[in-house]
Amino acid sequence: MINNFETRDNSEEIKRQYYYIDLLKEVVSHLKTSKNRDITACVETFGCQMNARDSEKITGILKSVGFEVIEDENADLTIYNTCSVRDNANQKVYGRLGRLSTYKKQNPEMKVVLCGCMTQEECVIDKLCKSYSFVDLILGTHNLFRFAEYLYYVYVGIDRNLDTQYESDIIVKGKTLVSRWEKTEIICEKLPVDRKYFYKSGVNIMFGCNNFCTYCIVPYVRGRERSREADEIIKEIEGLVKDGCIEIMLLGQNVNSYGKNLSEPISFAELLRRVEKIEGLERIRFMTSHPKDLSDELIQTIKESKKICHHIHLPLQSGSTRILKSMNRVYDKEKYLELALKIRREIPDIAITTDIIVGFPGETKEDVDDTIDVIRKVQYDNAFTFIYSMRTGTPAASMEQLDENFVKEQFDRVLECVQETARERVKLMQDQVLPALVEEVNKQDPEYLTGRLSNNTIVHFKGSQDLIGKIVNVKCAECKGFYYIGEMIE
């Protein structure tokens, strides 16, 4: 399939969205005059880096039309950018919506918008329209680029005049506008973005996922895998660097399969080598790698690069070949171990981090022993451990589920093991002097700065605020378990 989306399909769409951005400017300006105060908006982000990046796009539009973006949810417009990877994320949103309804009773002109992965699920939309009818707009993930247009509809009403040739996906359900778009063909990356950090940024290189791991809802809510054209990505990064960005994180659910479907296929390693050549860019990160697609070419590219950070996130999910098969992960315990140990051998100082799910249907104590065996052998630098969460519509949801207490016990065993190996790995940096990108003033103690090493370890050290966004050398002086207190070396 050829999918050079950005060059082909989206110029009309972009023009249209800028038209609505202009109209929204008038709406906000009118509101400001009539209320004689700023009009506030709050964007609350749940979930992963993809969502964080989407929130920057939403905030970019809000600021460019004149909203005062604040952190307080009791705003004139509140947007929840939701996650649905695990059920507790969904429950959190429903809980928080209760609070928003109280705010809206106090301020009936308040607008509430829900977007992100949850709103791509039909059962969620039904529940929201039925029980949370004060929500003004529900917008899925595939057409977030239409945010300006739909927000205009919320304030002014649906603009039917322009709909002659235009495929609108807005429906009205009770008092709520709902965008139900199943299509994923259009990639629009040329709208305003408000970057949270001036010195670093995420860059989407691909969207969606084709892997259909049997526990995972992402392929259903983010759609089929589609890559952006390399030239577009390079142009975007060059622009970011001109704006002062020195670190970028290439984002995709499965970056290793980047470029396979482009009209001129290009491997992820090749893309990295092109990004490496961008002058002024100092650090490159990427997230997430699927073990099944991680090539030797990529390992060599990281090894030879001066800019690619020495950190690789390599989700294991389970160490049991039987469970991996049932999860549809397409690798087994041995293949994973072989790959992880090859990476360790080729790039000894690289940090390997992972995701692990405990309590997948059918998992036994012996399966968990296999997971623990892999953790011990790979010696992860950090691991995110999750209790399996049943997601409606996924194949694993119809498998027999495990006893909660058993799962909790197994989870604790896994957690203990990953913490042990992570502590051991972090200790290895004791007394080394390493470059750290200064990210912010320490939240607990403003005398300290917080920096990030190439391998993603956090180090806190004394220094002045004007170093934020710069790379400085820091001695890892005192190991505090998972992070360091350091000393800056001039």
Q: Could you say which of 245, 357, 429, 437 contacts ligand 5AD (CB under 6 A)? A: 357
307 binds, options ligand SF4, ligand 5AD, none, Cβ within 5 to 8 A by partner type: none
**Angle, to 10 degrees, between the axis of helix 11-35 and the axis of helix 147-156?**
40
Residues 6+ apart with CB under 8 A from 371: 316, 318, 319, 320, 356, 358, 414
357 binds, options ligand 5AD, ligand SF4, none, Cβ within 5 to 8 A by partner type: ligand 5AD
Q: Could you say which of 65, 112, 205, 216 contacts ligand 5AD (CB under 6 A)? A: 216
Q: Residues 49, 249: contact at Cβ < 8 Å?
A: yes
CA distance 46 to 107: 24
For position 215 contacting ligand 5AD by CB under 6 A, the verdict is: yes
Task: Return the H-helix or E-strand segment holding 98.
Answer: helix 87-106
For position 51 contacting ligand SF4 by CB under 6 A, the verdict is: no
For position 219 contacting ligand SF4 by CB under 6 A, the verdict is: yes
Q: Residues 17, 64: contact at Cβ < 8 Å?
A: no
For position 68 contacting ligand 5AD by CB under 6 A, the verdict is: no
CA distance 452 to 71: 25
CA distance 140 to 146: 10
For position 270 contacting ligand 5AD by CB under 6 A, the verdict is: no
Q: 330 is written with which tokens?
A: 């397409």
Q: Which amino acid is at 348?
A: P
For position 223 contacting ligand 5AD by CB under 6 A, the verdict is: no
Q: 315 is written with which tokens?
A: 């989700």
CB of 251 to ligand SF4, least distance (A): 12
CA distance 490 to 485: 16
Per-residue contact string for residues 374-413; x = within reach of ligand 5AD by CB under 6 A: ------------x-xx-x----------------------
For position 211 contacting ligand SF4 by CB under 6 A, the verdict is: yes
CB of 216 to ligand 5AD, least distance (A): 4
For position 309 contacting ligand SF4 by CB under 6 A, the verdict is: no
Residues 307-326 within binding reach of ligand 5AD (CB under 6 A): 315, 317
CA 249 to chain centre: 10
CB of 324 to ligand SF4, least distance (A): 11
Rank residues 224 and 235 by Cβ distance to ligand 5AD and give the closer one. 224
Radius of gyration of the chain, Cα coordinates, nearest whole angstrom: 23
For position 85 contacting ligand 5AD by CB under 6 A, the verdict is: yes
What are the C-alpha distances in Å from 213 to residues 51, 97, 328, 345, 350?
A: 20, 30, 5, 29, 27
Phi, psi (rounded to 5 degrees) for 361: -50, 130
For position 218 contacting ligand SF4 by CB under 6 A, the verdict is: yes
CA distance 414 to 409: 9
Rank residues 176 and 371 by Cβ distance to ligand 5AD and give the closer one. 371
* Site for ligand SF4, rule CB under 6 A: 209, 211-213, 216, 218-219, 253-254, 290
* Site for ligand 5AD, rule CB under 6 A: 85-86, 215-216, 315, 317, 355, 357, 386, 388-389, 391
